[in-house]
Chain A
Amino acid sequence: DTEVTQTPKHLVMGMTNKKSLKCEQHMGHRAMYWYKQKAKKPPELMFVYSYEKLSINESVPSRFSPECPNSSLLNLHLHALQPEDSALYLCASSQAGGAGTDTQYFGPGTRLTVL
């Protein structure tokens, strides 16, 4: 089973709202990722968690706040977003966060619209 699930599938929010995106995997993977993808562009890495610790933050604005409550769950808390933050947010997981080739498996994404 290589399934990564994400909720919600779609989210519309105002610029003053606070919302959260959720990601879950039950493959025993110890690395989890958040990507942002704009239309007709490739995914852009935002954050990497390795063994539940934040290991990479790609200079993401603080209005995006990741959280990894346990090895199976990854959240992305959103606050005071801008319309240009509208995009598809993809979660991925892989076996381990260390060196080596770890295939990343992606969830279906959350399509976010900021009004």
Chain B
Amino acid sequence: GQNIDQPTEMTATEGAIVQINCTYQTSGFNGLFWYQQHAGEAPTFLSYNVLDGLEEKGRFSSFLSRSKGYSYLLLKELQMKDSASYLCAPFSGGYNKLIFGAGTRLAVHP
């Protein structure tokens, strides 16, 4: 079966750093994606990890530990526009099957 766990809501202050954790149990795991979704809009791709370790893309970084079934998304220098839902999505199987976690709603305050 598939089980993906991430916090429901988080709040943070503009300019700060926030870490959004995700734990997962999936069959046929091949890697993990993070997407950002603003309310009423489509998900947009942020990052993916295939191997263990940290991937950095500007203000966003994502970490993966395959042995622990654990990932996190790190957002630095938070901006108000970063207020959105962040979706953890393990990728499995031979058909690019993404299973999304419930998402973490991040609210950034001045």
Does A106 have its Cβ within 8 Å of any Cβ on chain B? yes
State which of B13-21, B68-76, B96-104 sits at the interface with chain A: B96-104
A14→B33 CA distance, assembly (Å): 37
When the two chains form their complex, are residues B96 and A42 in contact, meaning their CB atoms are under 8 A apart? no
Does A90 have its Cβ within 8 Å of any Cβ on chain B? yes
Does A104 have its Cβ within 8 Å of any Cβ on chain B? yes
A99→B98 CA distance, assembly (Å): 12
Q: Is the interface of A mostly helix, strand, loop or mixed?
A: loop
Does B78 have its Cβ within 8 Å of any Cβ on chain A? no
When the two chains form their complex, are residues A97 and B103 in contact, meaning their CB atoms are under 8 A apart? no
Partner of A50, one of B31, B44, B95: B95
Contact bitstring A24-68, B, C-beta under 8 A = 1, else 0: 000000010000000001111100101000011000000000000
Count of CB-CB pairs between chains A and B under 8 Å: 59
Q: Is the interface of B mostly helix, strand, loop or mixed?
A: loop
Which residues of chain B are near A103, meaning CB under 8 Å? 33, 45, 48
Partner of B96, one of A43, A48, A108: A48
Interface range on chain A (Cβ under 8 Å from partner): 20 to 34
Partner of A45, one of B31, B33, B94, B99: B99
When the two chains form their complex, are residues A101 and B98 in contact, meaning their CB atoms are under 8 A apart? no
Interface range on chain B (Cβ under 8 Å from partner): 20 to 34
Q: A90-B42, A101-B48, A106-B44 are in contact. Are A42 and B97 (CB under 8 A)?
A: no
Contact bitstring A84-115, B, C-beta under 8 A = 1, else 0: 00000010001011111111111111000000
Partner of B45, one of A90, A100, A104, A109: A104
> What 13 new A-B contacts, CB under 8 Å, besides A94-B96, A101-B96, A105-B45?
A31-B96, A42-B103, A96-B96, A97-B95, A97-B96, A100-B30, A100-B96, A101-B48, A103-B45, A104-B96, A106-B44, A108-B41, A109-B42
